[in-house]
Structures are given as C-alpha cells and as structure tokens.
C-alpha cells in the first residue's frame, strides 16, 4: 500500500548505505571491517553531525581530556560504530569467528552457568558499547538461550534488511512496543535470557548519575529482574586492539534491591568500563539533556 512506502529521503539514505556495503563486501573480512570504520569516521560522522555531538558529550563527562585526546576520540568513536555495523552485516563470517573463539569471561560467568542449570531467567544488561551483538553471538555459540529486545529503525527501508541481519546472529528478537511485549515476557518467564539496553536517555526514566552527571535512566531491567526472580548481569563485547576480535565480559550479578539502586549500580559498572575503553561507547547519543 502507498502509506507503507518509505519516504524518498529514507530510500535515498538506504540506497547509499547499500551501495557502500556492497562495495565493502568485495573486500575480505579483515579489510572490510576497518574499511567501514574509516568510512564512518571520515565521511559519515562529519556529514551526520556526530563529531559535534561527541565533542559536546566529552566536554560534559570528561572535561579533563586534552584537546588532542578529545579529537582522537572524535575519530575513533565513529570508527567503532562503522566496524560494528559491518560486522552485523557480515553474517556467518562474524558469528563463526565469535563461536570459534568462545570469548566469554568474567566474574559473572558462573552465575550464567548456574542460571542455565536451574532454568532461571536472566536479564543481560547491555549498552551501546564495543559491539553489543558480539555477546549475543558468544552466548548463542554455547547454545545458551539468549534473546533481545530491539528498537525498529525509524528508516523503514533500512529496517527491512537490518532486522534480518540482527536476527541471523541469534534469536529470538522482540520489537519494542506492544507487538513484542507479550512474547518477550513469555520467553523470560520460561527461563529465557533477555538482553536489554539501559544506556540511553529515557524521558520516562528516573534521574540517576552517569559520569557524575544527572541523566534519566530506564528502570525496566531491574523491575523485570525483581518481578521474575531473574539474575541481573551486566555484559559487554569489548573490541580488542586488533580491531577485529572480542572479549565478552560478564560482570558480577547485581544484587536484588530497590530498582533505582540496581540501575545506579549498572550505571556505575558501565562508567568504569567506558573509562577504560573511551572509544568503544556510543558517545553520539544524547545521554545528558
């Protein structure tokens, strides 16, 4: 139907992306991933206004950085974003590498193994850090029951191939909104492990601290963990220095408490991780308003 047709702007943007990705696919994986990082860093970031947003966020959260350090991050952050998108669209090439390396580690790994044995649900608290799909690939590679909530893209033309790409990494996936809510809750109540993001500004969230600045944070991961007696575990796919491999770090489980305290603990855990790897968090979001 006509009303379902994406706008001309969306179709043009999607066409440009597919053209770039088509050219990138002519390269072998080890060259394709850094090439897409370069395209995002040097071409897309300045056009999209990402550089200005990164500078603004860094000036708020890390005013201690020198100008040289901040400008290096202005280039490195979009590079990581471009690499991550190229990895998602690499399909089996990406997941096979993750499965073969079995990169899971960290103090929370025994808690996941215990939850699997007991059939206990798990909330996997994840952020736009490194490549957040690396953790889904790593868990699925062990045959563990990982699902995820995702937000459909605003660009419907892009969404039509993006959803199949992320679905190929691991399933099930649940779209944000009423259509996915019932299935997501059934999955969780049945002992599934649900990946939920928590690092974006949420108008309906509560005011907590991140980098010692006030920002609104969603309470949903903590509330679901309490409601369904699920383990709440932070997890992150940390890109390694070669730019291609990952460690998937499973943090210590967050003790059940009042939801605000649980989410502040997650914010604190993420802040420590981001401070160690400043280039791997998606500083392009409007985290502080």
Inside any domain, residue 22 = yes
Q: Is the pLDDT of residue 68 over 60?
A: yes
Residue among 203, 214, 196 nearest 254 (CA): 196
* 116 pLDDT higher than 60: yes
Residue 45, beta-bridge partner list: none
288 assigned to some structural domain? no
93 inside domain:
yes
The whole-number average pLDDT for the span 88-94 is: 96
In the block, residue with structure tokens 């200005």: 52
Does the pLDDT at position 83 exceed 90?
A: yes
Distances 168 to 44, 131, 143, 155, 164 between C-alpha atoms, Å: 26, 15, 14, 20, 6
286 part of a folded domain: no
Q: Which residue has the higher pLDDT, 63 or 14?
A: 63
Please report the pLDDT score of residue 14 as a whole number. 86
Confidence of residue 3 (pLDDT cuts 50, 70, 90): low
Residue 31 has pLDDT above 90, yes or no: yes
Whether the model clears a pTM of 0.95, i.e. scores above it, the answer is no
Domain that holds residue 157: 2-280
289 within a domain of the structure (yes/no): no
Predicted local confidence at residue 9, as pLDDT: 81
Residue 225: other Cβ atoms inside 10 A: 25
Confidence bin at 8 (pLDDT 50/70/90): confident
- Side-chain half-sphere of 175: how many Cα atoms within 13 Å? 10
> What is the pLDDT, as a whole number, of residue 1?
42
CA–CA gap between residue 61 and residue 59 (Å, rounded): 6
- Using 50, 70 and 90 to split pLDDT, how confident is the model at 151? confident
Going by C-alpha positions, the residue among 279, 275, 283 that lies closest to residue 72 is: 279
- The pLDDT assigned to 128 comes to 96
Number of domains in the chain: 1
Query: What does the pLDDT look like over 125-140, one tens digit per residue?
Result: 999 999 999 999 999 9
Query: What CA–CA distance (Å, rounded) separates 262 from 125?
Result: 11
| 3-class state of residue 258 by DSSP | coil
Q: Is 36 inside a domain boundary?
A: yes
Rounded Cα–Cα distance for residues 1 and 6 (Å): 11
54 inside domain = yes
pLDDT in tens, 249-285: 999 999 999 999 999 999 999 999 999 999 999 999 9
Give SS3 for 286.
coil
Q: Take residue 49 and report the two structure tokens written for it.
A: 């206004």
- The DSSP result for 224-237, as a single string, is HHHHTT-EEEEEEE
Is 224 or 177 the better-scoring residue by pLDDT? 224
Dump the DSSP string for 149-183: EEPPPS-HHHHHHHHHHHHHHSS-EEETTHHHHHH
In a domain, 285, yes or no: no
Q: Which of 221, 185, 193 is nearest to 205 (CA)?
A: 221
Contact 213, 61 (CB under 8 A): yes
Band the pLDDT of 11: cuts 50, 70, 90.
confident
The predicted structure's pLDDT at residue 2: 45
250: part of which helix (H) or strand (E)? strand 246-250
pLDDT attached to residue 30: 97
């Amino acid at each position: 139907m006509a009303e379902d047709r994406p706008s001309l702007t969306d179709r043009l943007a999607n066409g440009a992306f597919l053209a770039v990705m088509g050219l990138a696919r002519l390269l072998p994986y080890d060259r394709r991933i850094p090439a897409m990082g370069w395209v995002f860093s040097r071409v897309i970031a300045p056009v999209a206004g990402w550089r200005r947003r990164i500078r603004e966020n860094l000036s708020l959260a890390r005013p201690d950085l020198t100008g040289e350090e901040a400008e290096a991050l202005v280039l490195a952050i979009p590079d990581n974003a471009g690499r991550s998108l190229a990895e998602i669209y690499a399909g089996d090439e990406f997941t096979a590498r993750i499965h073969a390396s079995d990169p899971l580690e960290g103090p929370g790994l025994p808690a996941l193994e215990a939850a699997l044995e007991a059939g206990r649900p798990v909330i996997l608290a994840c952020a736009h850090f490194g490549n957040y799909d690396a953790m889904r690939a790593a868990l699925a590679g062990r045959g563990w029951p990982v699902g995820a909530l995702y937000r459909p893209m605003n660009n419907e033309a892009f969404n039509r191939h993006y959803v199949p790409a992320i679905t190929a990494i691991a399933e099930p996936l649940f779209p944000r909104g009423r259509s996915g809510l019932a299935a997501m809750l059934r999955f969780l109540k049945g002992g599934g492990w649900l990946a939920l993001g928590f690092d974006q500004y949420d108008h309906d969230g509560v005011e907590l601290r991140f980098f010692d600045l006030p920002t609104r944070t969603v309470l949903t991961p903590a509330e679901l963990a309490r409601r369904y007696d699920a383990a709440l575990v932070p997890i992150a796919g940390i890109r390694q220095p070669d730019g291609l491999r990952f460690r998937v770090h499973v943090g210590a489980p967050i003790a059940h408490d009042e939801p605000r305290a649980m989410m502040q603990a997650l914010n604190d855990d993420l802040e420590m991780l981001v401070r160690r790897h400043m280039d791997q968090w998606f500083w392009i979001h409007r985290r502080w308003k």
